[in-house]
Amino acid sequence: MLILAGQGNPGPAYSGNRHNVGFRAVDEISRHWRLGPERARFHSLVREGEIPTPAGGVKVLTLKPQTFYNESGRAVAEAVKFYKLSPADVILFYDEIDLAPGRFRMKTGGGAAGNNGVRSLIAHIGPDFRRARLGVGHPGHKDRVQGHVLSDFHKVDQAWVTALLEAVAEALPLLVSGEDERYQTEVMRLAPADKADPRQSQG
C-alpha cells in the first residue's frame, strides 16, 4: 500500500488557497480513479482504492490531514504506523513556492526548505518520503510568503491549476509503479508550465 497525502488546511475558508493545492491533488486523484467513499480516520479524511498498472493493481490510501497544515506529520505518522509502512511508501503532494507557477517536480528526501508541513512530516516519520511538489510561485519577498500561500489562486490561474491537477491524476500509474522521474516528465507533458504566466501568480 502507498499513502498519497495532500497538504492543506481543513474547512471551506481555506479550500481555494494556494496552500491547499495538495488537498486538491488528492481529491482529483480520488475522482479520476473512482476511489472509495471519504471517511474520517487517522485525524484525516481518507479514501481507499486500487490504481491499475501494467504489473497489477497497487492499493492506495489518499489522506487529507485535518490537523492543519503545520501539524500534518502527526496524521500521516498514524497511518504509517497502522499499516506498518516505511517513509518510502508515503508520497506527499504540496505547494512549492520555490517552483514557478505550474511547474512540477518529484523529489525524495532532503530538508524542509522552510515548509512547516514538510518539517512536521520529517519530525514524525523521517525525511525519506517522496515529494510531489506543485509550483505556486514566490511572492518576491519572504515577508509576503504567508499571505501568498494563504490566499486563493487568481481567476487567471484556474486553467493551469486545473490542467496540472488533472495531469497529476492521469499519470498516477507511473508514480505508484515507482517511476518517479517518468511520472514527473509525463505530468509536465500533459500540463506544460509555459501555459502558466508567473506574473499572474503574485499574491
Which CATH architecture fits 2-201? 3-Layer(aba) Sandwich (3.40)
- pLDDT by residue (tens digit) across 142-175? 888 888 988 899 999 999 999 999 999 999 999 9
Q: Please, what's the largest Cα pairwise distance for the chain? A: 48
Active site residues: 19
Q: Does this model's pTM top 0.75?
A: yes
What integer pLDDT is reported at residue 163 of this predicted model? 96
- 196: confidence class by pLDDT, cuts 50, 70, 90: low
- Statement: residue 199 has pLDDT above 50: no
- Residue 150's alpha-carbon distances to 17, 67, 111, in angstroms, are 5, 16, 22
Domain locations in the chain as residue ranges: 2-201
Our measurement of the distance from residue 17's CA atom to the centroid of its chain's CA atoms, rounded to an integer in Å, reads 13
